[in-house]
Structure formats: C-alpha cells, structure tokens
Structure 1
Amino acid sequence: MKEGPDISRVAALIGDPARANMLTALMTGKALTATELAAEAGVTAQTASGHLAKLFDGGLVQSRKQGRHKYFALAHGDVAVALEGLMGLAGGELRTRTGPKDAALRQVRVCYNHLAGQMGVQMFSSLILRGYMRDDPDAPILTASGQEFIAQFGVDLDALSQQRAPLCRSCLDWSERRTHLAGSLGRAILTKMEQSGWVKRDDKSRALLFSQAGASAFQVAFPETG
C-alpha cells in the first residue's frame, strides 16, 4: 500500500451526515455544546456525544469546559477550508446553481473566521487585480504595496507574523466556486470590519449583516475591478 496521508479516515469522519451537520454548524466560528450540536444534527444527545468523541480523536474539533458546560469548536482553520471546498464539490455539476439558496448567505457569510460568499470573493479579487496580492499556487502572497494597504486598513502585520497560523490561505468558495481569503490575514480583516462597525454576525445563521455605511466602506476599500 502506498504511504501518505490517510485521506479515507478523515473523509469517513466528515462523510457521516450527522457529523457533517455538526461541523457545518461550527463553521460560524462559535463554540457550541453537545446538546446544541445534537439539535443541529438531528440526533440524540448520547449519539451526538459519540460523534463528537470521534471528531475530537480525529483532530477535527477541539473542546473546552466552562462552568458546567463543555463547548466544541473546529480544531483550526484548515478544517473550515476543507469543508468549504467539499461543499463546492458536493454541489453538483457546474451548470447547476451551487451553494446556499438563501440570498443573504450567498452574498456574504462567515467561513469559520473569514469572509466568504460574493463579497469575500470580491475582496480577494480586488486585492489580486490591484497588485496587493499574488495568487501563488501554494498560497496567496502579500506584495509590498499590499502590506502598505493592509497597514492603512488597520491590521497589525507584525503581530500576525508572530502567529503560528499561515498569513494567507486560499479557500475555494462554496457558492462562487472562486477563491476567497483565509489564513490569519483573512481573520484579521473580518475582525477589523467588525470592530469598525461595518458588519455584525447573524445569530441564526452564517450570514454576515453589513450596515449601509459598512457596505459602502467595503466597496471603497475593495472595489469591483473588471
């Protein structure tokens, strides 16, 4: 047998419908209890505990205890990137309408901790076409002019460079079938938008809710180009 990563093990963990629903629920970036995840998966609490134990052992989720409750979250951003890509593959042929039916989710949503949907793709495309970023096959690379732009946007690149997480990651967008920006930079940009009051998260879904002023500011910062 050929040596290499055991893709089948991870695929089996994600492939179970109940576990897939749990992982999708955690793509909001929120930590949820086993009871909440059981409701998302449509299974009993006991069954959910079994599924979560497998996901934890497989390195796909992490857990922490706070008070009487135990909370679960995705283990890291790579899990979200993989899930978003799989959603695109599971959407069927390219001639079909891929992604969520909800227009708000299609326009802009959170993918674990970064911007996804039409606005996420627009942001990435704008950075590329204005020369702020190069779409390298391994990972997007921030150019010198891009570093200046990001600093002016209010993101501390020196602090990000000290983190273990990759600065830039490409993530295949579920609905758009194009790239949006993940990695610590993608997370930091979304965080800055939230801190600036441009956008807030929808408590009931993965949708992001831009204010009118925030949507206008986004278009100025990341204009459509072409």
Structure 2
Amino acid sequence: MTPLKTVYDSEPDNSLEKSMSLVASAIADTSRVSILCALMDGRAWTATELSVVADIAASTTSGHLTRLLSSGLVICLTQGRHRYYSLAGHHIAGLLENLMGVSMHPLISPQSRTPVSLRYARTCYDHLAGELAVKIYDFMQQEKWIEADGTALTPVGKTHFE
C-alpha cells in the first residue's frame, strides 16, 4: 500500500484559532460526519462503501473525502487501482468521541425552581434581584440615570435621587 499524502498550504498558518475553525468546518456537514463515524470502526473503506453509508452519490463522496483529507482528518492508502480511506489516527477517533459526548447533552435550558413570587421581586445579599430589579435597572438606563456600564450614577441620576 502506498499512502496518499495530504496536501497542506505551502505557508503554514500558526493561528490555533484558524486551524481549529478549519477542522470544525470540515466536520460541520452531516455527510462528512457519517463518513467519519463509519471510519471509527478502524477499517479502511473505499469511497463507494462510504457513499452507501452516507447515503450520497459517489461523486459527492469524492468531494467530501477531499475535504476530510485536506483537513487531516482522514488518510488515503492506495493499493493498485483502489483507494482506501481511514481515520488519520486515534486522536481523530478521540475527537469524534468527545464531540459525540458533547452532542448528546440536551440543549434545553434548566428550568428555575425558584417560586414565582421570588422570581418577580427579591433581594440577593446586598442588592435587588428578580424581574422587578431588572425593570428598575432598564428604566434607570433608559432615563440615563446610570452610566452605560451600570457602575455609577450620572449627574442626572444623582439629581433624581436627591
């Protein structure tokens, strides 16, 4: 088997943020995710096999595999006329497992167990809290009684409180 080399830009970009976003964008397609999940079994698959798993056309699979190759997520081994694709390493499988774990958490915000009367008006240590306090704060900002960052009274605010 002869490994097919992954093509990278001639000038490496040392930006971690850019590198992370390139990997994330390579994964951000359901067909590519299907391909990557199929490859997690450790075997090398042909493009035809992967097109069946991802339920996409062979020509579409080729484009997705090119994207995954260029991002370093998969490698391609050539054996005669055939090409076999597999994950680029155990670290990619670990990345996918972590992503699966994060994806399984519900996106529903936790529900407050605070009684309705306390959610409306209450104090918290040394300050007002609840919906009423938010309304007072919004009113004071609207009337320009407090600074934009909310940390101090404006001269107009001081006048109103005096």
The two structures have a TM-score, normalised by structure 2, of 0.54
One of 88, 97, 103 as aligned partner of 1:75: 88
- Tell me the amino acid that sits aligned with residue 47 of structure 2: A
Aligned residues: 94
Q: Which runs of 5+ in 2 are unaligned?
A: 1-14, 109-162
Q: State the secondary structure of the residue aligned to 2:59.
A: helix
Q: State the secondary structure of the residue aligned to 1:32.
A: coil
Q: Could you tell me how far 1:9 is from its partner in structure 2?
A: 1.1
Q: State the secondary structure of the residue aligned to 2:64.
A: helix
Task: State yes or no: 1:56 paired with 2:56.
Answer: no
2: CA distance between counterparts of 1:81 and 1:22?
15
Task: State yes or no: 1:22 paired with 2:35.
Answer: yes
One of 13, 19, 35 as aligned partner of 2:48: 35
Alignment of 1:81-100 (within 5 A): 81-93=94-106
Q: Could you tell me how far 1:82 is from its partner in structure 2?
A: 0.3
- Tell me the amino acid that sits aligned with residue 67 of structure 2: K
2: CA distance between counterparts of 1:75 and 1:12?
17
1:4 is matched with which residue? Answer: 16
1:190 is matched with which residue? Answer: none
Aligned Cα root-mean-square deviation (Å) = 2.0
Q: Could you tell me how far 1:94 is from its partner in structure 2?
A: 9.7
Q: Could you tell me how far 1:51 is from its partner in structure 2?
A: 0.4
The Cα offsets for residues 44-96 of structure 1, whole Å up to 9 and x where unpaired, read as 0000000000100111100111132110000111100000000011112399x
The two structures have a TM-score, normalised by structure 1, of 0.39
The Cα offsets for residues 134-166 of structure 1, whole Å up to 9 and x where unpaired, read as xxxxxxxxxxxxxxxxxxxxxxxxxxxxxxxxx
Q: State the secondary structure of the residue aligned to 1:29.
A: coil
Alignment of 1:1-226 (within 5 A): 3-5=15-17, 6-93=19-106
2: CA distance between counterparts of 1:18 and 1:94?
22
- Tell me the amino acid that sits aligned with residue 51 of structure 1: H
Q: State the secondary structure of the residue aligned to 2:72.
A: coil
Percent sequence identity over matched residues? 45
Q: Could you tell me how far 1:4 is from its partner in structure 2?
A: 2.4
2: CA distance between counterparts of 1:14 and 1:30?
20
Structure number with bigger Rg: 2
